[in-house]
Each structure stands twice: as C-alpha cells, then as structure tokens.
Amino acid sequence: MSAATSENLDLLRSELLAWYRSAARDLPWRRTRDPYAIWISEVLLQQTQVVTGTAYYLRFLEAFPTVQDLAAAPQQAVLKAWEGCGYYARARNLHRAAQEVVVRGMPTTYEGWLALPGVGPYTAAAVASIAFAEPRAVVDGNVRRVLGRLHAELQPSSAWLQARADALLERAAPGDWNQAVMELGATVCTPKKPACTACPLRAHCAAYASGMPERYPAPKARAAVKHIRAVALLIGDAQRLYLERRPENSLLGGLLGLPLEAVGEDEAPEAALGRLEARLKARRLERLGEVRHVFTHRRLDLEVWRAEADLPLTVLEAVPVARVDAKAVALLRAQPGLF
C-alpha cells in the first residue's frame, strides 16, 4: 500500500520522528535555531559531506559569527573562509544575500528566503521549516531516495517528489520532520546496501517489501563530463606567486589563480603555452607536470610549467585559491631547491 495514502500515515510519522529524536547525529547546526547559522549549514552541506562540512561550517562561523559580520566583510575574506568548499559562486551569493538581510531584515518565511540571491527552493524550505517552523517540505537526494523506496517508484519526477514530500510532512514539527527524512536517507536508507533491518519505516516501505530495495529509485541520468585542457605558469615560489583574477562569470570567477591558457580542441599544448609565455613575457620555462581536477560536469587536465617574469607576486596564504591551483603549487613544493 502506498505510504502517502496509508491509514497508518500518523504511525509512520510518529515512528520516524521517534527514531530521529533518539538516533540522530549530534551536529552543530542542530543545536541552534539561529536562522543565520542554519542557512550557512544548508548552503555548505549542498556540496560537502557532513564530516568535512562540519569543519568548514565551524571555520566559516568563526570568521563571520553574525550576518552583520558576513555582510561587512570584503568579498576576498569571504572567499578565503570558503576556500576548499568549491562552487565559489555560492559564497559570492551568500555574501550578497547577507548584505540584503542587513538592510531588509532576516526573512522569516519561505517566500522571503526564496527572494534572496542564490537561495533556491530547497534552502528556503529548509531554513523556513527548521528555524521558523513553517510547514514546507524539502526535497534533496536523500529525500528522493527515501520517498522513491517508500513508494517503489523507479523514476520519480520532481513534481512527484514534491507532492509526496508535501503529503508526508508532519506539519506540527516540520523542521524535525525534514531533518528526519534526510537523516534516514543519509545513514540508513543509503544508495547501496541500505540497512533495512534498522529502518523505522520498513513496515511501510514498498521497496523493502519487493525484496529489491536498492533498485529504487533509478539513478538520475548524469550529464556528460566536458573535458577541458589548459596550461598554467607558476611564476615565483611556493609562498609568493604571480596570480591573476579570473572573470566573475567563469568557473572559478572572482578568485585569484595561476595564469591559465586554454588548449584548443585540435591544438597542441605548446601553442597555448606560447601564447601564455608571450602575454606574460615569461622566460626560462621548465615543465613541472600535470594535474587533473574534476568539477561537477567538467574535467580539467592542466599542464603546469614554472617560469620567471618581471611581475608582482602575491603571498599565497593571504588569498583564497581554488583546489586546482593548490594542486599545481604542490608540484612545485615537491621539488625542493627548484628556485
């Protein structure tokens, strides 16, 4: 029987909430109802695992304890605190949104959160429900898996998922409910080898009853990964380097990074290196090696060269840099005495 239409729906809700309140992980953002802190956690956890996300969360709040602190900070300080989290556009949007909040006040509703830069339906529903008890159901990857298995739905659409999440929502405790469903998906109803015998909802679960819970739901179709090649020059040393600011609308927009030159589809890397060498008036080039970095839908293969040039150098520790740049600098650090 479908969980959403079952006469045992109240039992399902009470069983899941009881499980959550006794078994949920003790995470720092669950110890507060501060909407600012909850907002930061939700943005960070969209792109990081809980273990690493916790460290980033604590680091970010130490740097910017209040929304006023975040709004007043220079953008480069915000990006530095975000370093290692990826998707730097989210940090820039967070900064812009904080500035709006300081002017207009902290939103208390789903619609108010949704109006902020960079805040989508998931984040708006999460913060509104957890911080303000607004009955809004969230849908993320964990919720998709739990609902897909409860109903044995192989290919749930976005509309189907939102409708089922809305129908299941415990309106008297929406924040705990949303966190309970996500916690279940993260710790019990996992993609592979779900711990069905430990699941508080197995009696309601159509996928469990089928004997093939891992079949549901089918994985989402992944977009093809675009392969990008580029060359980079390391000018300076492992502590002080020549860095260029990348365009705001680029993949790593707003960050300082090594000077790069894209390699054309039918081009040899030497041609791109020649353009970079000429533009920077570089000399004494020496190849260091290659690094590979995978973004969500892109793979960057970067050929790294050291060089000399009469250009201003920046202290690396003082500015935020992307992981791909850190990987390139690691090639230099692995060769002591090079400079």
Looking at the domain covering 226-333, what would its CATH class be?
alpha beta
Q: Could you tell me which residues are beta bridge partners of residue 140?
A: none
- CA 248 to mean position of chain CA atoms: 19
In angstroms, the CA 161 to CA 156 distance is 6
Query: What SS3 state is found at 6?
Result: coil
Query: What SS3 state is found at 328?
Result: helix
The CATH code of domain 3-215 reads 1.10.340.30
Where do the structural domains in the chain lie, given as residue ranges? 3-215, 226-333
pLDDT of residue 224: 82
Q: Which residues are catalytic?
A: 42
Query: What SS3 state is found at 59?
Result: helix
**In the structure, what pLDDT confidence band is assigned to residue 2 with cuts at 50, 70 and 90?**
very low
Query: What SS3 state is found at 250?
Result: coil
| Tens of pLDDT, residues 257-290 | 999 999 998 899 999 999 999 999 999 999 999 9
Q: Are 188 and 180 in contact (CB under 8 A)?
A: no
Amino acid at 221: A
298-308 vs 226-235, strand pairing mode: parallel
pTM: 0.86
Please compute the mean of the pLDDT values over residues 313-338 and round it to a whole number.
86
Instruction: Tell whether the model's pLDDT for residue 40 goes beyond 80.
Output: yes
pLDDT of residue 7: 63
Portion of the chain with pLDDT greater than 70, in percent = 96
Higher pLDDT: 48 or 38? It is 38
User: Mean pLDDT across the chain, nearest whole number?
Assistant: 92
| Tens of pLDDT, residues 190-223 | 999 999 999 999 999 999 999 999 999 999 888 7
